[in-house]
A and B are shown apart, each in its own frame.
Chain A
Amino acid sequence: MLNDLASAVIVIVAVLFVLLTTIAYLTYLERKILGFMQDRLGPMEVGPWGLLQPLADGIKLVSKEDIIPTEANVAIFKIAPIISLVPAIISFAVIPFGKDSFHFMGITTHPYITDINIGILYVLALSSIGAYGILLGGWASNNKYSLLGALRSAAQVISYELNAGMSVIGVLLLAGSLSLVRVEAAQSGGFWHWYIFPQIVAFVIYLISGIAETNRTPFDLPEAESELVAGFFTEYSGMRFSLYYLAEYGNMVMVSCIATILFLGGWNSPLPFLDFVPPFLWFMLKVYFFLFFFFWIRATLPRLRYDQLMRLGWKIMLPLSFANVIVTAIVVYMIRR
């Protein structure tokens, strides 16, 4: 009992540490990668090659004045960023980062916090809750830009979560389980077992929906700088602002993790003779590939317009993902019989 508790604490601390560091350094990585893609250097001043930039940003944001607009709904205004951030972080509880259990100070622990049998549903449910944070924050700010941003965000998250959910079903049909650990295990034994190949349609739909759900370019309408100033967090400053930021990056990591687990085999190595590389590293490599993809997209694409976004979501991607589910179900049924 005590051993279980200790092992849980160790994993939680480790996951939180890795996650928060990743998020902090994602901001740095994003700026660096964008910089290199745009013919400039990115942050260079704080520390060697600007490596301490996230730290400096953190100190700056914490020490900023905390401004609450006079007309704002104070309680909701204060709680909204937390509603946004908490689900983004606690959904990492079901992510399996590695394969084998490991020993730490004489205690055996798993490379995941918990393995519940509804893993993927849990993640989808929590990511919907995050949308409330955006909606409430935008509404409570009592600013028209914020309100527009919040409305866009609500519409966007609802329409694209549907697509993400539908695209996930195909993988679940193949794996026969909702548990992320099982889904990963089902893809072991070389890259030809990965679900990206039978579920390529679902993969593309999931990736697009994931970008839309995390409000990233080209779907960053809720915070479209050139239109809505900063969208739903126009009125936020200091630490509250950074909570939204952390939530956005947390969601990005989350989407990358899920994409890695569902489609790229999670911690499985692509070729059997590469098994000597620790599974954890494979997992990280794939996650960082997706994160890089996010930045790459941001440097390349313009922003969609609101109605175009809706049209893409409802008229193109939703029918496609339905078709994918039906086809997958039929094929799986035929093969299993």
Chain B
Amino acid sequence: MDTEKTTGVKEDIRQKEIVLGSLRQAVLQNLDSSIQTDQFLLNMGPQHPSTHGVLRVLLDLDGERIKRSVPDLGYLHRGTEKIAEYRTYNQIIPLTDRLDYVSAMANNYAFVRTVEKLLQLKVPERAEFVRTIVAEVQRIVNHLFWLGTQALDIGAMSVFFYTFREREELLDIFEILCGARLTTNYYRVGGVESDIPQHVVDRLYRFIDAFDGNIREYNTLLETNRIWLARTKNIAVITAEDAINFGLSGPTLRGSGVPYDLRKFEPYGAYDQVEFDVPVGQNGDIYDRYWIRIEEMRQSAKIVRQCLDKLPSGPIMTDDHKVSFPEKGNVMHNMETLIHHFLLVVHGFNVPPGDTYCGTETPKGELGFYIVSDGTGKPYRMKIRAPSFVNMGAFDFMAKGYMIADIITIFGTYDIVMGECDR
């Protein structure tokens, strides 16, 4: 590399340092000194076919081996947390759709659970079951998406199309439920937006009946494929202790053998009424995390089936009309109801002062919302604990010593979505 360009690169990096703070500075100083030697500084992203959105990573390479990697987040920062301070609670739900945009239902669920915890609101039985069904269907959708893209990253392109075939069916079901496929906005504080019709129940049954065979079909291409094993076994290994110390959650943590799953630890929804296993890995490598997600899809199908079997009848929205909207017919004929409806829309419902944290097991890990309420209809402060963001903290640790090709599989194994990571 000639001197002129080296200076250009250094200048670029220095500009960044000012913004990114002292920790990064220390790392980049090392990178600076490495430019003079025969090492190789590669800027991967934010425009790159497989960084799963707009993730940028600075790689310090020795040949093709990674000496150090510095993830640079924030290219998809939209200020969700700040915007939420100016929205009523029901208006925040669509914002949460856009966090982890491949599993919007799970984000909705995490958010409304936090608000309900602040309100100490009881949700009707049927609504709990519908929520659990939808959340587990969303988990299947997410894992199908993950499996397809992870396989595509490693070069097995057919799996992607097979998983999308099933994903399509489930997204169609979402569309029937709420009119949208990705940005669903389906959960409401106190229940869900619309009931699950009988023909959707039948469709779900049909889907689950065929699903086990479909998973076997994906696995014929992967499970015992020598190349797949070589690319995933013993790559990006993290021990249980390190995984806990880095605050990992979800399949990334369970791959290291820690059976931490909020659905078991603090059951919510209808999870205490169904039977399911939490798969855990042994080695903490990419293959284990792959296996766990495959197994989780099977378990999710099992949960959906049990919930559909037990699905009780009844309302899908709480009858606490401080929170839920009055019936539309009454709004048209009754002055007080109209005013009530108007206030719920414009001002929102008041949430008693206080603060709470509530974590939910989303497909990617523990998605937590921390909400501070000052007693008005809008949150005073909302903090999102995004699993993708926390998982990225362990990126350098897990990538060190592996090859460039493994960088991509490590992105994949986190199941990273930048919308959630940058918020």
Which of A39, A144, A221, A226 is close to B161, meaning CB atoms less than 8 Å apart?
Answer: A39
B window 112-162: CB within 8 A of A: 151-158, 160-162
Question: CB-nearest residue of chain A relative to B160?
Answer: A38
Main secondary structure of the interface of B (DSSP, over half): helix
Question: CB-nearest residue of chain B relative to A306?
Answer: B64
Which of B162, B165, B230 is close to A305, meaning CB atoms less than 8 Å apart?
Answer: B230
How many residues of chain A have a CB within 8 Å of chain B?
30
Q: For the complex, what is the distance from the CA of A225 to the CA of B160, rounded to whole Å?
A: 15
Question: Once the chains bind, are A305 and B225 in contact (CB under 8 Å)?
Answer: no
**A300 contact set on B, CB distance < 8 A:** 156, 158, 221
**B49 contact set on A, CB distance < 8 A:** 225-226, 229
Q: For the complex, what is the distance from the CA of A85 to the CA of B153, rounded to whole Å?
A: 29
B window 374-409: CB within 8 A of A: 403-408
The interface bits of chain B over 214-238 (1 if a CB of A lies within 8 angstroms of the residue's CB, else 0) are 0000000110010110110000000
**B408 contact set on A, CB distance < 8 A:** 226-227
**In the complex, what's the smallest C-beta–C-beta distance from B2 to chain A, in angstroms?**
10
Question: Once the chains bind, are B156 and A40 in contact (CB under 8 Å)?
Answer: no
Which of B42, B157, B165 is close to A299, meaning CB atoms less than 8 Å apart?
Answer: B157
Question: Once the chains bind, are A224 and B155 in contact (CB under 8 Å)?
Answer: yes
Question: Once the chains bind, are B162 and A39 in contact (CB under 8 Å)?
Answer: yes
Q: For the complex, what is the distance from the CA of A298 to the CA of B257, rounded to whole Å?
A: 35
Question: CB-nearest residue of chain B relative to A230?
Answer: B49
**B230 contact set on A, CB distance < 8 A:** 304-305, 308
B window 182-215: CB within 8 A of A: none
Question: Once the chains bind, are A227 and B231 in contact (CB under 8 Å)?
Answer: no
Q: For the complex, what is the distance from the CA of A38 to the CA of B161, rounded to whole Å?
A: 6
Query: Residue B50 at the A interface, CB < 8 A?
Result: yes
Question: Once the chains bind, are B155 and A303 in contact (CB under 8 Å)?
Answer: yes
Which of B40, B43, B50 is close to A226, meaning CB atoms less than 8 Å apart?
Answer: B50
Q: How large is the interface on B (under 10, 10 to 19, 20 to 34, 35 or more residues)?
A: 20 to 34
**In the complex, what's the smallest C-beta–C-beta distance from B23 to chain A, in angstroms?**
25
Query: Residue B48 at the A interface, CB < 8 A?
Result: yes
The interface bits of chain A over 282-307 (1 if a CB of B lies within 8 angstroms of the residue's CB, else 0) are 00000000000000001111111111
**In the complex, what's the smallest C-beta–C-beta distance from A241 to chain B, in angstroms?**
16
Q: For the complex, what is the distance from the CA of A221 to the CA of B227, rounded to whole Å?
A: 13
Question: Once the chains bind, are A225 and B50 in contact (CB under 8 Å)?
Answer: yes
Knowing A40-B161, A301-B225, the reply to whether A226 touches B152 (Cβ < 8 A) is yes
**In the complex, what's the smallest C-beta–C-beta distance from A328 to chain B, in angstroms?**
27
Query: Residue A68 at the B interface, CB < 8 A?
Result: no
Q: For the complex, what is the distance from the CA of A40 to the CA of B40, rounded to whole Å?
A: 41
**In the complex, what's the smallest C-beta–C-beta distance from B274 to chain A, in angstroms?**
32
Which of B156, B160, B162, B405 is close to A301, meaning CB atoms less than 8 Å apart?
Answer: B156
Q: For the complex, what is the distance from the CA of A71 to the CA of B5, rounded to whole Å?
A: 10
Q: For the complex, what is the distance from the CA of A300 to the CA of B221, rounded to whole Å?
A: 7
Question: Once the chains bind, are A304 and B50 in contact (CB under 8 Å)?
Answer: no
A window 290-331: CB within 8 A of B: 298-308
Q: For the complex, what is the distance from the CA of A165 to the CA of B51, rounded to whole Å?
A: 39
Query: Residue A89 at the B interface, CB < 8 A?
Result: no
Q: Which of B158, B162, B403, B406 has the most CB of A within 10 A?
A: B158
Knowing A144-B40, A225-B50, A227-B408, the reply to whether A302 touches B158 (Cβ < 8 A) is no
Knowing A225-B50, A226-B408, A229-B48, the reply to whether A305 touches B403 (Cβ < 8 A) is yes
**A40 contact set on B, CB distance < 8 A:** 161
Question: Once the chains bind, are A217 and B158 in contact (CB under 8 Å)?
Answer: no
**B155 contact set on A, CB distance < 8 A:** 217-218, 220, 224, 226, 301-303
Question: Once the chains bind, are A144 and B225 in contact (CB under 8 Å)?
Answer: no
Knowing A148-B64, A226-B50, A226-B152, the reply to whether A305 touches B231 (Cβ < 8 A) is yes
**A218 contact set on B, CB distance < 8 A:** 155, 227
**A56 contact set on B, CB distance < 8 A:** none
Q: For the complex, what is the distance from the CA of A227 to the CA of B405, rounded to whole Å?
A: 6
**B405 contact set on A, CB distance < 8 A:** 221, 224, 227, 303, 305-306
Q: For the complex, what is the distance from the CA of A307 to the CA of B161, rounded to whole Å?
A: 29
Q: For the complex, what is the distance from the CA of A40 to the CA of B5, rounded to whole Å?
A: 46
Which of B43, B154, B160 is close to A303, meaning CB atoms less than 8 Å apart?
Answer: B154
Question: CB-nearest residue of chain B relative to A40?
Answer: B161
Q: For the complex, what is the distance from the CA of A39 to the CA of B152, rounded to whole Å?
A: 16
Q: Which of B5, B50, B151 has the most CB of A within 10 A?
A: B50
**B231 contact set on A, CB distance < 8 A:** 302-305, 308
Query: Residue A18 at the B interface, CB < 8 A?
Result: no
The interface bits of chain B over 34-55 (1 if a CB of A lies within 8 angstroms of the residue's CB, else 0) are 0000001011000011100000
The interface bits of chain B over 403-423 (1 if a CB of A lies within 8 angstroms of the residue's CB, else 0) are 111111000000000000000
**A308 contact set on B, CB distance < 8 A:** 227, 230-231
**In the complex, what's the smallest C-beta–C-beta distance from B288 to chain A, in angstroms?**
17
**B50 contact set on A, CB distance < 8 A:** 225-227
Question: Once the chains bind, are A302 and B154 in contact (CB under 8 Å)?
Answer: yes
**In the complex, what's the smallest C-beta–C-beta distance from B331 to chain A, in angstroms?**
47
Q: For the complex, what is the distance from the CA of A41 to the CA of B195, rounded to whole Å?
A: 36
Q: For the complex, what is the distance from the CA of A218 to the CA of B151, rounded to whole Å?
A: 13
Query: Residue A125 at the B interface, CB < 8 A?
Result: no
Question: CB-nearest residue of chain A relative to B161?
Answer: A38
Query: Residue A107 at the B interface, CB < 8 A?
Result: no
**In the complex, what's the smallest C-beta–C-beta distance from A219 to chain B, in angstroms?**
10
Which of B43, B165, B228, B407 is close to A227, meaning CB atoms less than 8 Å apart?
Answer: B407
Question: CB-nearest residue of chain A relative to B227?
Answer: A302
Knowing A225-B49, A227-B404, A227-B407, the reply to whether A302 touches B156 (Cβ < 8 A) is yes
Query: What are the 7 closest A-B residue pairs judged by CB atoms, nearest first?
Result: A303-B155, A38-B161, A226-B50, A302-B156, A302-B154, A302-B155, A226-B153
Residues of B within 8 A of A (CB): 5, 40, 42-43, 48-50, 64, 151-158, 160-162, 165, 221-222, 225, 227-228, 230-231, 403-408
Residues of A within 8 A of B (CB): 34, 37-40, 71, 144-145, 148, 217-218, 220-221, 224-229, 298-308
Sample of 25 A–B contacts (CB below 8 Å): A38-B158, A38-B162, A39-B165, A71-B5, A148-B64, A217-B155, A218-B227, A225-B50, A226-B153, A227-B407, A298-B157, A299-B158, A300-B221, A301-B227, A302-B155, A302-B156, A302-B227, A303-B154, A303-B227, A305-B230, A305-B231, A305-B403, A306-B64, A306-B405, A308-B231
Further pairs besides A148-B42, A221-B405: 16, Cβ < 8 Å: A144-B43, A225-B49, A226-B50, A226-B153, A227-B404, A228-B404, A229-B48, A299-B157, A300-B156, A301-B225, A302-B151, A302-B155, A302-B156, A304-B227, A306-B404, A306-B405
